[in-house]
Amino acid sequence: MAHTTTSQGASTSGAASPNCLVQRTATGEGVFARRALAKGDRILDIEGEPVPAPTRHSIQLNLDLHIECTTTIGAEEMRARFPWRFLNHCCDPNASVVGRTLVARRAIAAGEEITFDYTTTEAAMAEPFRCGCGAARCLGEVRGFLALAPDEQRARAEFVAPHLKAFLPKPQA
């Protein structure tokens, strides 16, 4: 993983995604664009089994709903069917979760790693971690949206999941 020491994510409909694939990175694995993607392009759909609490690899879709892949399958099949489990965090990501879809926030070049900001979907991380993304405004430690300072929460307002919007700080007067 080029950006952090953990992975998390979303899945495709049981087949390899035409837009992305899992590849090795210097520190693990990550999801990479198969082709050039434009801002707003659908990268993959988030599917899996609903679980009531966060896990290391789940994505939070509502206050009491997380999606996880609990199926026992081989590593290659996991990479092909559930590439979301290999999505890495970045404090300045190129993709965002919108409902149950991962969408490009900006143009993404073919071969570029696809990342998203875990704090835009997770109220509290099941396993907080040190971030090494290198972004100018890197958080240093990723613990979830509720652990962010109010200015960091406001900075993510455009991309934060609907279930977290109620926790956004009121605008400053």
In this prediction, residues 35-46 reach a mean pLDDT of 96
Range of the domain at 76: 7-164
Q: How far is the CA of 54 from the CAs of 20, 42, 57, 140, 148, in angstroms? A: 25, 24, 8, 21, 18
The rounded distance, in Å, linking the Cα atoms of 87 and 95 is 10
pLDDT at 1 over 50: no
Q: Does 173 fall in a domain?
A: no
Specify the CATH number for the domain of residue 43: 2.170.270.10
The predicted-structure confidence for 63-113, as pLDDT tens digits, reads as follows 999 999 877 888 888 888 889 989 999 999 999 999 999 999 999 999 999
Q: Does 53 fall in a domain?
A: yes
- The alpha carbon torsion through 3, 127, 70, 53 (nearest 10 deg) reads -130
The predicted-structure confidence for 106-135, as pLDDT tens digits, reads as follows 999 999 999 999 999 999 999 999 998 999
Residue 123, C-beta contacts closer than 8 angstroms, at least 6 positions apart: 60, 63, 144, 145, 146, 163, 164, 167
Number of separate domains in the chain: 1
Q: Does 38 fall in a domain?
A: yes
Query: When comparing pLDDT for 105 and 48, which is higher?
Result: 105
Q: Does 171 fall in a domain?
A: no
The rounded distance, in Å, linking the Cα atoms of 143 and 56 is 12
- Which of the 8 DSSP states describes residue 147? G
Q: What percent of the chain has pLDDT over 90?
A: 69
